[in-house]
Amino acid sequence: MPSLDLTRIHGVVFDTDGVVTDTARVHAAAWKQTFDAFLRARDLPPFDIRADYLRYVDGRSRLDGVRTFLASRGITLPEGGPDDAPGTPTVHGLGRAKDALFMEQVSRYGVAAFPSTVALLRELRRRGSRTAVVSASRHCGAIIASAGLAHLFDALVDGNDSARLALPGKPDPALFLEAARRLGLPPGRVAVVEDALAGVQAGRRGGFGLVVGVDRGGTGLLASAAADIVVRDLDELTVTGRVPVMAR
């Protein structure tokens, strides 16, 4: 079985949606509803969750997701501003429409964590590893709290931090590097766990000691993005060794 050696890796940074919490499909559905309304009004083919979401949106900030997907269709929209009404044909307007749909679903149904991820987090901490959670979303803190997982992380870096610190979004490694900094560890001693193509690319570009891809759909995209390990679920990942006491 693939393994994570804690004599070499002293901290692990987890992406949120699709890795820690089962919210990636909620994001995907909200994106589809948002983009389909926009595309239908222009007699254009609908948004494809398997192809378009994974390639152009997953793992990116909300506004970058709008820009990147529309660019794939050869569409350019005005940027607009944060006060644009949801659904306005601007980057901000489509982003706000998606955000409203996502939060409506979270508020109605709550947030579930993947049991395998929770088990891995507990095992990592039992063996002395530091842990952090990262998301491009401004709602990351609320999502993690709703799932009852805040006590399992030493650090959280989200879209609010990205805006405050002017951190570029994935596939730039800035969010992951900030998480490693908050853990007090060099990137080479940190593993990144991601389910998004842009996130795996960010982990590779950041010089992290290990990049683990979680490919729940079996797409093969994460292996092509040079993840060191690819698993269908985190219960396939074995933890070995302990973080040396002097490194804790």
pLDDT tens profile 2-40: 999 999 999 999 999 999 999 888 889 999 999 999 999
Q: What pTM was computed for the model?
A: 0.83
Clarify whether residues 95 and 191 are in a common domain: no
Q: What angle do CA 96, 29, 193 make, to 5 degrees?
A: 95
CA–CA distance, 102 with 29 (Å, rounded to integer): 8
CATH (domain of 201)? 3.40.50.1000
Clarify whether residues 221 and 149 are in a common domain: yes
pLDDT at 184: 97
CA–CA distance, 213 with 197 (Å, rounded to integer): 9
What positions carry a catalytic annotation?
15, 17
pLDDT tens profile 150-165: 999 999 999 999 999 9
Clarify whether residues 59 and 152 are in a common domain: no
* Domain with 29 in it: 25-109
Looking at the structure of the chain, the number of domains it has is 2
Clarify whether residues 89 and 122 are in a common domain: no
Clarify whether residues 201 and 175 are in a common domain: yes
The distance of Cα 75 from the centroid of its chain, to the nearest Å, equals 25
Radius of gyration of the chain (CA): 18
